């Protein structure tokens, strides 16, 4: 064995040991996890509300459960961490992201779903751009986060305009990198979701070419690693109930919610309120019939050769909050 391959083997072994240790870190002697590791991203509004208010720490302490928080730049790396056993629960990710996780063989349980919010993501161009319609994107460089809802919005909008994904030059960028590239003119258009969408609309001179209405409903999902869901249904029931309460509060008290989130997100309250106005925040249980668009998304990515294999989106476990 060469020195380089020996080093690689040692690194692989260490990585596996680290992943195993991470997966066992929250286990009691009886094997029941006493920690819930929650992964989230900046756009995970309801989870950010619960985190900021310390709600879950208070409610889960009597169940002997601690909470740790782990922030990610977008949904795909978050579900990769879930698949690797580095987090137990994923805050809301766009409907596209579980499709990629399933294709990678992830053992997922769908915990909850937010009702559609189609206008909470959009394709934007600078106000002085010569691009006037989605059809004008042919041959252009477009920035977006891989596997995000924005990715599917772009595919669906291009198809509606008579184009395919191969007709554009993709630039896979995190929201922060996408904003920077957009503002310096390194990309011709940017596909992004709230609150990043509201921020660029309020802070820069932009135009919306298209949003998700009539092409992509943009539902967001909360997930758990199936072994954790099987071991701690009690924790997930608390999470589900509190997500519903938080969603109702954000919609009923938009100014209070914006004031709470603004300093956490590093945005002004008016921008946060605008972003929140486009999200449904209606948290509900996931049932097989509500996954129909998931299959359309999976098939669209497969047809563009962006998925390694066909995915049956019903081949997942569904958490029953009332069980």
Token pair of 294 as six digits = 């998931």
Give percent above pLDDT 70 in the chain.
91
Last residue of a domain, one of 154, 186, 211: 211
**pLDDT value, residue 43:** 85
Last residue of a domain, one of 211, 235, 262: 211
266 burial (CB, 10 Å; 0-12 / 13-18 / 19+) is exposed
Whether the pLDDT of residue 14 is over 60: the answer is no
**pLDDT value, residue 285:** 97
The answer to whether residues 39 and 72 belong to one domain is yes
Q: Is 1 contained in some domain?
A: no
Q: Is 4 contained in some domain?
A: no
Q: In the structure, what pLDDT confidence band is assigned to residue 3 with cuts at 50, 70 and 90?
A: very low
**pLDDT value, residue 323:** 74
Q: pLDDT digits over 202-231, tens only?
A: 999 999 999 999 999 999 999 999 999 999
The CATH number given to whatever domain includes residue 250 is: 3.40.190.10
Distance CA 118, CA 280 (A): 9
Task: Show the 3-state SS of 220-260.
Answer: EEEEEEHHHHHHCHHHHHHHHHHHHHHHHHHHHCHHHHHHH
**pLDDT value, residue 311:** 93
Distance CA 175, CA 200 (A): 11
**pLDDT value, residue 42:** 85
Q: Is 9 contained in some domain?
A: no
The answer to whether residues 310 and 241 belong to one domain is yes
The answer to whether residues 110 and 223 belong to one domain is yes
The answer to whether residues 126 and 112 belong to one domain is no
Distance CA 14, CA 8 (A): 10
Last residue of a domain, one of 177, 195, 211: 211
Give percent above pLDDT 90 in the chain.
85
The answer to whether residues 96 and 73 belong to one domain is yes
Distance CA 121, CA 149 (A): 8
Provide the 10 A C-beta neighbour count for residue 165.
18
Average pLDDT in the 246-263 region? 97
Provide the 10 A C-beta neighbour count for residue 18.
12
Token pair of 130 as six digits = 């010569």
**pLDDT value, residue 23:** 42
**pLDDT value, residue 212:** 95
The answer to whether residues 112 and 251 belong to one domain is yes
Q: Is 12 contained in some domain?
A: no
**pLDDT value, residue 145:** 92
Q: Is 87 contained in some domain?
A: yes
Q: Is 35 contained in some domain?
A: yes
C-beta separation of 125 from 209 below 8 A: yes
Q: pLDDT digits over 233-252, tens only?
A: 999 999 999 999 999 999 99
The answer to whether residues 234 and 294 belong to one domain is yes
Q: Is 197 contained in some domain?
A: yes
* Domain count along the chain: 2
**pLDDT value, residue 257:** 98
Q: pLDDT digits over 23-54, tens only?
A: 434 444 347 899 999 999 988 999 999 999 99
Average pLDDT in the 56-63 region? 97
**pLDDT value, residue 290:** 87
Whether the pLDDT of residue 5 is over 70: the answer is no
- Chain CA centroid to CA 256, Å: 24
Q: Is 57 contained in some domain?
A: yes
The answer to whether residues 274 and 297 belong to one domain is yes
Q: pLDDT digits over 106-124, tens only?
A: 999 999 999 999 999 999 9
The answer to whether residues 22 and 108 belong to one domain is yes
Token pair of 113 as six digits = 């779903």
The answer to whether residues 67 and 106 belong to one domain is yes
Q: pLDDT digits over 307-316, tens only?
A: 999 999 999 9
**pLDDT value, residue 252:** 98
Whether the pLDDT of residue 282 is over 60: the answer is yes
Token pair of 137 as six digits = 């994107």
Distance CA 169, CA 153 (A): 15
Q: In the structure, what pLDDT confidence band is assigned to residue 253 with cuts at 50, 70 and 90?
A: very high
Q: Model's pTM, two decimal places? A: 0.85
What average pLDDT is seen over the chain? 90
Q: Which residues of 60-90 are buried (b: 16+ CB within 10 A; e: fewer)?
A: beeeebebeebebebbbbbbbbbbbbbbbbb
The answer to whether residues 296 and 177 belong to one domain is no
Range of the domain at 32: 18-116+219-318
The answer to whether residues 295 and 239 belong to one domain is yes
Whether the pLDDT of residue 83 is over 80: the answer is yes
């Amino acid at each position: 064995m060469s020195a380089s391959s020996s080093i690689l083997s040692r690194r692989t072994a260490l990585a596996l040991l680290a992943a195993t240790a991470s997966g066992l870190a929250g286990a009691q002697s009886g094997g029941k996890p006493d920690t819930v590791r929650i992964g989230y991203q900046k756009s995970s509004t309801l989870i950010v509300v619960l985190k900021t208010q310390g709600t879950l720490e208070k409610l889960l302490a009597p169940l002997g459960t601690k909470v740790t928080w782990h922030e990610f730049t977008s949904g795909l790396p978050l579900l990769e961490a879930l698949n690797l056993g580095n987090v137990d629960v994923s805050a809301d990710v766009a409907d596209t992201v579980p499709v990629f996780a399933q294709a990678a063989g992830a053992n997922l349980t769908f915990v909850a779903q937010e009702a559609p919010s189609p206008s909470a993501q959009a394709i934007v161009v600078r106000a002085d751009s010569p691009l006037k319609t989605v059809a004008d994107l042919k041959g252009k460089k477009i920035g977006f986060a891989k596997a995000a809802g924005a990715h599917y919005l772009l595919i669906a909008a291009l198809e509606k305009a008579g184009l395919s994904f191969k007709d554009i030059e993709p630039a896979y960028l995190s929201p922060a990198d996408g904003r920077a590239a957009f503002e310096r003119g390194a990309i011709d258009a940017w596909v992004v979701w709230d609150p990043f969408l509201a921020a660029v609309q309020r802070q820069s001179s932009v135009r919306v070419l298209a949003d998700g209405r009539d092409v992509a409903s943009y539902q967001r999902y909360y997930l758990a690693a199936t072994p954790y869901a099987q071991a701690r249904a009690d924790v997930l029931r608390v999470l589900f109930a509190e997500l519903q309460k938080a969603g109702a509060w954000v919609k009923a008290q938009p100014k209070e919610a914006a004031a709470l989130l603004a300093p956490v997100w590093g945005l002004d309250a008016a921008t946060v309120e605008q972003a929140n106005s486009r999200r449904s925040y209606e948290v509900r249980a996931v049932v097989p019939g509500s996954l129909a668009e998931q299959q359309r998304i999976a098939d669209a990515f497969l047809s563009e050769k962006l998925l390694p294999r066909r995915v049956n989106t019903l081949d997942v476990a569904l958490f029953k909050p009332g069980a």
